[in-house]
């Protein structure tokens, strides 16, 4: 059923109270095709949403918002080493992770508790604690919104990068992801390289962790640093960590010997934007209804009643201040709508 003039507040984790002119939830590709074929909406602006966890609504949306609620997790193939699972785009990402952990399928445990849906996950190649969705990705099916044909995207075709995919570029607004297939292992290796995981496991006094224990450690780290969107509006990391030449980082180190970094390749390193923002004095800063999270400076928050424009204005001030201090540009990870 199509609703009119509804608030999108429950549908975006920032909790921005923008309105949609039209809104519909769909749970099948057939329904999606029907909606997209309606004469009334042929030329309307459209916004496809999953969990609404990576968008910033700047204005009311004068078009049709389509919430994808295609459900289901199916086994495509299985052998003694592993399994391929196909999950509907509307499955809550963390529910999918828990399904895998409960069935002892290895591969996505480090991605526990990331907000959002399965269908949104490939868009920005979600990642955490040394794992990205591309590492377990098999393929996905997406509806071409012009031809209404279902097309398959393999790993190569998705062009995954750090918080990047073809769906943020050439394929933007041209496809709707319907389902995603993942390649998971039965005798997988746990990825415990990331310092915070090691530290948390040792605090839990666990030296030889199980799949479930790694999942619990990740949940505990995320809960300690990242605000729960049900309590404080946010969309996780607001900015991407900038990648800069190693030579430039060496210069930065002369001035800031404690500056952290992660290697990207032989020429580039990634500098945690959270560190840059904190050192520039923004951590915990509040401006009216919006601010910078007290425990992780990479996360912007809406304390309630904040608007998309207020968040954007704060983000721009932070970008400017970081650039003035270090000469480093930081760019949003979140999609601005409107």
Q: Which is nearer to ligand EPU, 82 or 115 (CB)?
A: 115
207 is catalytic: no
Q: Which is nearer to ligand EPU, 90 or 274 (CB)?
A: 274
Task: Say which of 109, 132, 216, 333 is annotated catalytic.
Answer: 333
Q: How far is CA 105 from CA 72, 80, 85, 207, 245, in A?
A: 17, 11, 10, 21, 38
Map tokens 């540009």 to a residue: 329
222 is catalytic: no
Task: Say which of 139, 165, 235, 237 is annotated catalytic.
Answer: 237
Contact footprint for ligand EPU (CB under 6 A): 128-129, 196, 225-226, 236-237, 240-241, 260, 272, 274-275, 278, 283, 296-298, 333
CB of 51 to ligand EPU, least distance (A): 12
Task: Say which of 53, 141, 163, 220 is annotated catalytic.
Answer: 163
Give me the half-sphere count of Cα atoms (radius 13 Å) on the Cβ side of residue 153: 27
- Show the 3-state SS of the chain: CCEEEEECHHHCCCCCCCEEEEEEEECCHHHHHHHHHCHHHCCCCEEEECCCCCEEECCCEEEEEEEECCCCEEEEEECCCEEEEEEECCCEHHHHHHHHHHCCCECCHHHCCCCCECCCCCCCCCEECCEEHHHCEEEEEEEECCCCCEEEEEHHHHCCECCECHHHCCCCCCEEEEEEEEEEECCCCCCCCCHHHHHHHHHCCCCCCCHHHHHHHHHHHHHHHCCCCCCCEEEEECECCCEEEHHHHHHHHHHCCCCCCEECCCCEEECCHHHHHHHCCCCCCEECCEEECCCCCCEEEECCCCCHHHHHHHHHHHHHHHHHHHCCCCCECCEEEC
CB of 69 to ligand EPU, least distance (A): 22
CB of 243 to ligand EPU, least distance (A): 11
Q: Which is nearer to ligand EPU, 147 or 258 (CB)?
A: 258
Q: Which is nearer to ligand EPU, 128 or 269 (CB)?
A: 128
CB of 303 to ligand EPU, least distance (A): 18
CB of 275 to ligand EPU, least distance (A): 4
CB of 174 to ligand EPU, least distance (A): 24
163 is catalytic: yes
Taking a C-beta distance cutoff of 8 angstroms, is the pair 264, 241 a contact?
no
Q: Which is nearer to ligand EPU, 32 or 300 (CB)?
A: 300
Which residues have a catalytic role annotated?
163, 237, 333
């Amino acid at each position: 059923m199509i609703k009119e003039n509804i608030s999108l507040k429950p549908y975006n984790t920032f909790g921005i109270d923008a309105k949609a002119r039209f809104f519909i939830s769909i749970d099948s590709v057939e329904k999606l095709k029907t909606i997209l074929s309606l004469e009334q909406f042929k030329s309307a602006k459209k916004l496809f949403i999953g969990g609404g966890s990576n968008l910033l609504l700047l204005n009311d949306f004068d078009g049709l918002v389509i919430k994808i609620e295609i459900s289901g997790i199916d086994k495509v193939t299985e052998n003694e080493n592993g399994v391929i699972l196909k999950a509907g785009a509307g499955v809550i990402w963390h529910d999918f992770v828990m399904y895998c952990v409960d069935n002892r399928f290895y591969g996505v445990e480090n991605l526990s508790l990331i907000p959002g849906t399965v269908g949104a996950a490939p868009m920005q190649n979600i990642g955490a604690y040394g794992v990205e969705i591309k590492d377990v990705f098999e393929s996905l099916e997406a509806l071409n919104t012009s031809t209404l044909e279902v097309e398959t995207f393999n790993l190569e075709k998705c062009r995954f990068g750090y918080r990047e995919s073809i769906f943020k570029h050439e394929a933007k607004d041209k496809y709707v992801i319907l389902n995603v297939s993942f390649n998971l292992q039965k005798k997988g290796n746990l990825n415990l390289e990331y310092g915070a995981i090691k530290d948390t496991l040792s605090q839990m006094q666990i030296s030889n962790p199980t799949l479930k224990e790694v999942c619990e450690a990740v949940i505990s780290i995320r809960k300690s640093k990242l605000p729960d969107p049900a309590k404080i509006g946010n969309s996780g990391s607001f900015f991407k960590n900038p990648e800069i030449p190693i030579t430039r980082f060496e210069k930065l180190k002369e001035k800031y010997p404690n500056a952290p970094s992660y290697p990207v390749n032989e020429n580039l390193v990634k500098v945690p934007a959270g560190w840059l923002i904190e050192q520039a004095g923004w951590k915990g800063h509040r401006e009216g209804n919006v601010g910078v999270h007290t425990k992780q400076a990479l996360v912007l928050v809406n304390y309630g009643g904040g608007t998309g424009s207020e968040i954007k204005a704060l983000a721009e001030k932070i970008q400017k201040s970081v650039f003035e201090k270090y000469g480093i540009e930081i760019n949003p990870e979140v999609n601005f709508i409107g």
